[in-house]
Amino acid sequence: MTASAVLPQAIEPPVSLWADAWRRLARNKLAMVGLALIAVLLFVAVFGPWLTPYDFLSQNIDARNLAPSLAHPLGTDDLGRDVLSRVIYGARTATLVAIVVTVIAMVIGIVLGALAGYFGGWLDAAVMWLTDVTMSIPNLLLVVVINTSLKPRLANWMEAQYLETLNPIYRNSIWIDFILVFGSMALITWPPYARLVRAQVLSIRNRPYVTAARALGLPTWTILTRYIVPNAVGPLIVAVSAGLGTAMVLESAFSFLGVGVNPPMPSWGNMISDGLRVWQHYPHLLAAPAIVLGLATVAFSFLGDGLNDALNPRGTK
C-alpha cells in the first residue's frame, strides 16, 4: 500500500462510511433479494389503486370462491371479491401500519432514550425499568389487554364527539381501529429504540464537543437536539429495518386474531384467518395472503441482517 500509494494513479478516492457500507450490502445476495422485494412491496402499496384489477370491496355473487384464472389471477373469496385486489390493498394497510408505528415508536424511544442517557440518575433508572417491564409482558397479550379495555371506551368517546359535533369523521370505525392499532403497537415496540439511543448518548455526552457546547453556556435543549441526538441515531437504521418487519408481522397477527384492522378493510392477517376456515375446499384463499405476508417479513429480515453486517463490519470478513 505505501509503495504504490506514492504513484498518483494508485491513490484510491476516500471511501465514505456510507459508500463502504453500501458496497458491503450490495455484495450480500440475501439482503439484495430482500431490498428488491421491499421495493416491489412499496411500489404496490403506493400505486395500489391503479394496479388493482377490481375494486377490493366489490362483491360478485356469481363469482364466489373461484379458483385462480386469467380474469382473477388469485381467484375470488366467499363474497366474490377479487383476491389479488385485496392482497394489494392489504399491502397498503401493512405498509401504512408498519411505517406509522415505527415512526411513533422511534420518536418515543429517541425522546426517552436521550433524556435517560443525558440526565442519568433516577430518570435513567426509571426509563430502563420501564423498558424492562414492557419487554417482560408478552407483546401480543399486552395488545390484547389494551384492545379489550380501551376499544369500547374509545368507541363511546367517538360516538359522543359525533353527537356533539355531527362531524362524520367520528362515525368512521376504521379510525378507531387505526388509532388503537397504531397506539398499542407503538406502546410495545419502543423499548429497543430507547435502549439503543441511551447507549449512544452515554458514549457521546462526554465527548469534547459536547463539553465545549456546555462550556459555551448553550441551553440543555439545544445541546440535546443539535449535538447529541443527531449523532446518536445512526445505529437506529438496523433497528428500523427490523422494526418495520416486526410492525408488519404484529399488524397481521392482530388482524388474524380479530383485534387489529377489521373488515371490510383488507389486511393479510384477517384474510389468512378467513382462509383458515375454508382451506380444505379453497386452499388458494389461505395460500395467497400467507405467501405474500411470508415474503414481506422474510424480505425485511434479510435486509435487516444485511444492514447489520454492512454497518457493523466487526463480526464479518
Partner 1 sequence: MLRYVIRRLVLWVPTVLLVLLGVYALAFYGAGDPIKLIFLRAPGDVAYNPARIEAIREAAGLNQPFLVQFGNYVLNLVQGNFGNSLVSGRSVWRMISAAAPVSAQLGLLAILLTAVVAIPLGVLAALKQNTALDYAILGSALFLWAIPAYVAGPLLMVLLIVLLPDITVPYGWGGLFDVRIILPLLVLAFQPIALIIRQTRAAVIEVMTEDYVRTARAKGVPELAVALRHILRPVLTPVVTQLGLIMITIVNGAIFVELVFGLPGLGRLTVSALLNNDYPVILAITLIGSFLVMASNLLVDVVYPLLDPRATDARATK
How far is 156 from 153, CA to CA, in rounded Å?
A: 5
Could you write out the DSSP letters of every residue in 95-148? HHHHHHHHHHHHHHHHHHHHHHHHH-HHHHHHHHHHHHHHHHS-HHHHHHHHHH
How far is 110 from 236, CA to CA, in rounded Å?
A: 10
Q: Is 291 in the site for partner 1 (CB under 8 A)?
A: yes
Among 60, 123, 301, 311, binds partner 1 (CB under 8 A): 301
Among 214, 278, 297, 311, binds partner 1 (CB under 8 A): 297
Q: What angle, 0 to 180 degrees and rounded to 10, lies between the N-to-C axes of helices 83-119 and 173-189?
A: 40
Q: What angle, 0 to 180 degrees and rounded to 10, lies between the N-to-C axes of helices 29-51 and 283-311?
A: 130
Which pairs with CB-CB distance under 8 Å and at least 24 residues apart come from 8-12? none
Query: Closest CB to partner 1 among 150 and 179?
Result: 150
CB of 133 to partner 1, least distance (A): 5
Q: Which residues pair with 122 in a beta bridge?
A: none
Site string for partner 1, 23-42 (x = CB under 8 A): -------x------------
CB of 262 to partner 1, least distance (A): 12
Q: Is 281 in the site for partner 1 (CB under 8 A)?
A: no
Query: Closest CB to partner 1 among 265 and 272?
Result: 272
Query: Closest CB to partner 1 among 60 and 301?
Result: 301
Query: Closest CB to partner 1 among 51 and 199?
Result: 199
Of 190-249, binders to partner 1 (CB under 8 A) are 245, 249
- φ, ψ dihedrals at 82, nearest 5°: -70, 125
How far is 269 from 250, CA to CA, in rounded Å?
A: 9
How far is 95 from 237, CA to CA, in rounded Å?
A: 17
Tally Cβ neighbours within 10 Å of residue 309.
Answer: 19
Count the site residues for partner 1 by CB under 8 A: 50
Residue of 286, 264, 268 lying closest to 277 (CA atoms):
286
Residue of 285, 264, 290 lying closest to 65 (CA atoms):
285
Query: Closest CB to partner 1 among 230 and 263?
Result: 263
Among 132, 174, 175, 226, binds partner 1 (CB under 8 A): 132
Residue of 278, 256, 281, 277 lying closest to 267 (CA atoms):
256
Of 240-279, binders to partner 1 (CB under 8 A) are 245, 249, 252-253, 256-259, 269, 272-273, 275-276, 279
Q: Is 294 in the site for partner 1 (CB under 8 A)?
A: yes
Q: Is 144 in the site for partner 1 (CB under 8 A)?
A: yes
Among 88, 247, 290, 307, binds partner 1 (CB under 8 A): 290
Query: Closest CB to partner 1 among 11 and 145?
Result: 145
Residues that bind partner 1 (CB under 8 A): 30, 129, 132-133, 136-142, 144-150, 152-153, 245, 249, 252-253, 256-259, 269, 272-273, 275-276, 279-280, 283, 286-287, 290-291, 293-294, 297-298, 300-302, 305, 315, 317
